[in-house]
Amino acid sequence: MQSNDAHVKRMADLLREGAAMLSQICPDCKTPLFRLSGGEVICPGCNRRVVFAKSTDTERVATQAAVASSLEAVIMNKISDIRSCLESTTDLLALEKQIRVLSALFDLLEKVRKTKL
């Protein structure tokens, strides 16, 4: 590995040569990655080429389903919280606000459930 000054100099050189700094960082040295004009991605800190693994459609769908299930659980907890508040609310304005929030939560719940299909 190089010193921090060497990393900065190498990154500046890459930018001058037309490379693009990416938002991703090297998992080893935490230096920003760069895409060269030819499309190759490199880490100027480790001085090596970086290859991104593509996730399969199955992995992506499984991840989306897990996120949707987690979100569904949070929404159901909020619906339960509002249900408890509805029982004790006597203020009509507060009641109206709770009903609007409840309606929005049910709409969101429906959308989340559709993404799981």
Instruction: Convert the pLDDT of each residue in 68-98 to its tens digit.
Output: 888 899 999 999 999 999 999 999 999 999 9
Asked if 65 and 32 sit in the same domain, the reply is no
Prediction pTM value: 0.48
- Domains in the chain, number: 2
Alpha helices by DSSP H, listed for the chain, are: 4-16, 57-88, 92-116
The residue range of the domain holding 82 is 57-116
Using 50, 70 and 90 to split pLDDT, how confident is the model at 66? confident
15, 30, 50: which is the final residue of a domain?
50
Rounded-to-integer distance, Cα 19 and Cα 4, Å = 19
Asked if 62 and 97 sit in the same domain, the reply is yes
Asked if 8 and 24 sit in the same domain, the reply is yes
Rounded-to-integer distance, Cα 34 and Cα 21, Å = 4
Name, of 2-16, 77-91, 103-117, the range with top average pLDDT: 77-91
Asked if 80 and 97 sit in the same domain, the reply is yes
Q: What are phi and psi of 62, to 5 degrees?
A: -65, -40
